Amino acid sequence: NAGVTQTPKFQVLKTGQSMTLQCAQDMNHEYMSWYRQDPGMGLRLIHYSVGAGITDQGEVPNGYNVSRSTTEDFPLRLLSAAPSQTSVYFCASIPRSGRAEAFFGQGTRLTVV
């Protein structure tokens, strides 16, 4: 049972490049989400999904796209990276009831130069 798996762990991008951060969970959780962590800001919600085919915006969605074609996977896409997107990204999953523990991936440290 791997829990929540994020890849890659580290990435350096040039301004304007695109990339996809991968997130997969094997706990059959309906709810998945992406957060970014910046110094002094805690974790802020980017996008979330309550099930396959359903996504919605969080607190800081601009510059990011998501899709949810399966229960297991929730990729985060940066279409044109900007230096302001330099951050640490975390993926999380929770059972649909919300009345249970959330599990987080190990994080992706992204630097945009």
Of 33, 55, 85, 87, the residue at the interface with another protein (CB under 8 A) is 33
Token look-up 């309906």 returns: 30
Of 41, 79, 82, 113, the residue at the interface with another protein (CB under 8 A) is 41
How many CA atoms within 13 Å lie on the side-chain side of 103?
20
DSSP state of 71: S
Using CB under 8 A as the binding rule, whether residue 71 contacts another protein is answered as no
Interface positions, 1-30, toward another protein (CB under 8 A): none
Choice between 13 and 94, CB closer to another protein: 94
Asked whether 32 and 92 are in contact (CB, 8 A), the reply is: yes
Choice between 14 and 101, CB closer to another protein: 101
Looking at the chain, the number of H-run helices and the number of E-run strands are 0, 11
The sign of the CA dihedral 14, 80, 25, 42 is: positive
Binding site for another protein (CB under 8 A): 31, 33, 35, 40-45, 48, 50, 58, 88, 90, 92, 94, 96-104, 106-107, 109
